[in-house]
A and B are shown apart, each in its own frame.
Chain A
């Protein structure tokens, strides 16, 4: 049986506040945590099969061209080599998130430096790797120089948002800011490299893969291979991080599948760390102009945000830098304009918090500059500019904790009120300062299904192809089911990551918990109806707790109600009008204290507070962990992360975790997280929004503002490495 709901109106019943089990929201440990920390959770490359062959992708050091020949014969002479796969179906780019169709084919058409063009399969990994490096590939390079510099090409304009006359508002403003910022590209490399192990039985394909969104990935893989979706099964119970790089399929999954189909044997392909960096999703670098016009009280009369991003020719995706600029602050005269430069770097796609992760921090720096001009406390300036309704579209906010986050965050952090002047505190060589930024992230929900079975022994089983990319999906889906069915987490089993199970939303865009949580919720509502029916009562009179059904003064064990028969429901959640009729988003505030070295420009974050409101908290521990992760990324985004592309041939130079600098432990101080409980009835049937990405939407701006407050260096380029800070440091 199935319970389907398309959410066309807010669900104000808040059913989960009336249930009795009390497990939802609790800071419970993730059930699979022990497996993960003891190395016994099985990741894609760790699945074994008899006679499994090893494949290594062959990449080419050319920006643009066409493969004209591949010397298979010599490779096949090398020890252990079994095959060279250079099928037309081999893909040359990563699929965009939720594409649901094959990414760019054929791989032999080269569009960026380091693109895979073939796969060498051998008995051992070492033999395959050696042969892959030796394989002679001839390429007819394009005569014209491929454009590599995003600032040196014409850009395509996307449809702007225009209200009133921003230019005029700027001339009329009492206080105004017009600033241009740049952010460098970001890598999406996760701890677990891209890996796939494929098996073909002549009819159907089974792939153990490391992917975030299985129902889409299945469609992408089937389309790439010219198979029917039903012929493809993906298994991905644990994913060692994604950050967007595993939203869509990449070359390893297609390569392993093609090889398995051709050779009739299992084939495993694992990307090297360098290949992960050079071939999967990057976040585009951006150039952003922010214009703010304000009256004498610092109230915005104009708001402009224009951004240039880049991508490969033919890719629809453009880093949605302006996403939350649409609704975060007011200002009647608005101009939001995004443009895309076509250049030959690997695919740009959705990398952790696409858009806001680089778009909020620049606005937040501009707001800081405005606060200084207006002589206002930066927190106060933000509070003054929280609009009553969506500033460009005439619709209300569903729920919004921005003001509360700013106030409560400020108080927890110990924010000193009042207008600010930089260079107020020096401790030895170090300038000390603090900064604030708002956080905002759009809300998304995606169609999702989950099956919940109440088994005769009174335990429940939750099944969906949803993934856990380290975020806590196992825990929170178990908690939703436990809460609804009156069971402790020990009595709920959650199975994830297998396309043989009902299709969930997948992990991406922070929508997994609210979307799949809602599917589980709906399935459980159905089960509650069935139990009530069996008891001959109204579902609204039924309470479930600790394995018992309770109504009026009666009490009966669920096992007794079931009487030896399992019952099951498939919950089917579909987004509807409720998320269109309201401006739905998650909000928060960041406060950072930094120390900037007077001599060297080195910046160390000393402490950071984040306050976040994202609807119902499903598990306070995993939600906090998400925020900690996000804030850690803020530090990387502000201070260290940068993809370095060679100006001559466009190759990515820093392609491992020694040279691409993410924060190390010592860079990450005590982070304080405040979770502000909220119910958002329009967001999802469980009143939850997304938290995963919120923690990295704006925080880099708080750090940038703190750098300015500390030493007077207003840095307009991210990351704020010592050279950039020093260059902006005032002389005296």
Chain B
């Protein structure tokens, strides 16, 4: 860990001002940032502790729900409206990390958590995300956890989180405040693909702080979060599917799907909903959906298995949601 300055923000404007400083990072629950600082992966000059800001509220927002950036993952998952109106979100959060971590982890921190790529977290290894231009250790290395969709020759890392996958399926919006401005970005556009700037995980500009996430009015339907992992908790997703599905007269009326563990961002492909909506569920249809999802998928050896795994997981979720047997 490098020596650093610690500042505590008392008000939001204050936080945005402080965070705009050079080499400055916001500290929320610290469950990701502090670990990375110990490993010297993150080496901010200044930490702005935003933990005292009043951004912890979870409150109605019209027909929707606003989840404060500092609401703990535990509080969000346990919130009665989340449980009744957005159960996919509660399930996704509870599929992540451990109770102890979720008690500390926050909405904003969870969205901004960094990849678990082994080369990213080891400063003695090449990594374009950590040190642009140094190369990508994972491409020819241990890439079991890595992406098969939307990769670039510069980076094949995944966004590792679960919560954001559900938020993507729910089409939530990230509310952002900067020094003197505010803006809203759909979750589906919040995370970036690596392209040739893998150092950028998301659209936040220096000094910008997430203030909340807003969920649109509830849509009902069947909510599923399916996470495939190597052990039954405390492991990141090899592949995950968040699904909000509704049917009428044995036809899909809603098919909001998002995928975790496959890409540098929660993966959402609008063509899948277009395909499914209005159709009768069947094994053949599910196969077509998987074809669309995986059309451009590319494995890197160790993670080739994710392509058939994603297909099977998607099929399992659609079977579960529709009662089709495959």
Contacts and interface: CB of A to CB of B under 8 A. Distances in A.
A629 interface: no
Nearest to A654: B118
Contacts of A661: 230-231, 235
Given A646-B142, A653-B141, A129 B1 contact: yes
B228 interface: yes
A653 B233 contact: no
A126 interface: yes
A644 B142 contact: yes
B47 to A, nearest CB: 15
Contacts of A639: 230-231
A647 interface: yes
A134 B273 CA distance: 52
Contact of A653 (B3, B118, B230): B118
Given A130-B2, A646-B142, A653-B142, A722 B238 contact: yes
Interface stretch (B62-70, B146-154, B304-312): B304-312
Nearest to B40: A133
A133 B232 CA distance: 35
Given A126-B1, A653-B118, A723-B305, A599 B312 contact: yes
A321 B69 CA distance: 53
B312 A664 contact: no
B7 interface: no
B3 to A, nearest CB: 7
Interface in A121-138: 126, 129-130, 133
B124 A726 contact: no
B200 interface: no
Given A599-B315, A723-B305, A651 B122 contact: yes
Contact of B229 (A602, A644, A651, A653): A602
Contacts of B312: 599-600, 726
B185 interface: no
A663 interface: yes
Given A663-B231, A667-B232, A600 B316 contact: yes
Contact of A600 (B39, B40, B122, B309): B309
B205 interface: no
Interface in B147-205: none
Interface in B305-326: 305, 308-309, 312-313, 315-316
Interface in A652-695: 653-654, 658-659, 661, 663-667
B141 A646 contact: yes
Contacts of A77: none
B140 interface: yes
Interface residues of A, number: 35
A723 B309 contact: yes
A123 B315 CA distance: 59
Contacts of B119: 653
A34 interface: no
B118 A666 contact: no
Interface in A626-658: 639-640, 644, 646-648, 651, 653-654, 658
A661 B230 CA distance: 8
A602 B229 CA distance: 7
Interface string B222-257: 000000111111110010000000000000000000
Nearest to A272: B38
Contacts of B144: 644, 723
Most chain B C-beta atoms within 10 Å of own C-beta, residue among A133, A599, A659: A599
Contacts of B118: 644, 653-654, 659
A727 interface: yes
B117 to A, nearest CB: 10
Interface in A244-291: 274
Contact of B230 (A126, A133, A640): A640
Contact of B232 (A130, A429, A599, A666): A666
Contact of A646 (B116, B137, B238, B308): B137
B17 interface: no
Nearest to A635: B231
Contacts of B230: 639-640, 661, 721-722
B125 interface: yes
Nearest to B314: A599
Interface string B275-302: 0000000000000000000000000000
B202 to A, nearest CB: 22
A647 to B, nearest CB: 6
A647 B141 contact: yes
A334 interface: no
Interface string B210-232: 00000000000000000011111
Contacts of B309: 600-601, 722-723, 726
A659 B116 contact: yes
A602 B1 contact: no
Given A600-B228, A726-B309, 6 more contacts: A61-B124, A602-B232, A654-B142, A664-B232, A722-B305, A723-B309
Interface of A: 61, 126, 129-130, 133, 274, 429, 598-602, 604, 639-640, 644, 646-648, 651, 653-654, 658-659, 661, 663-667, 721-723, 726-727
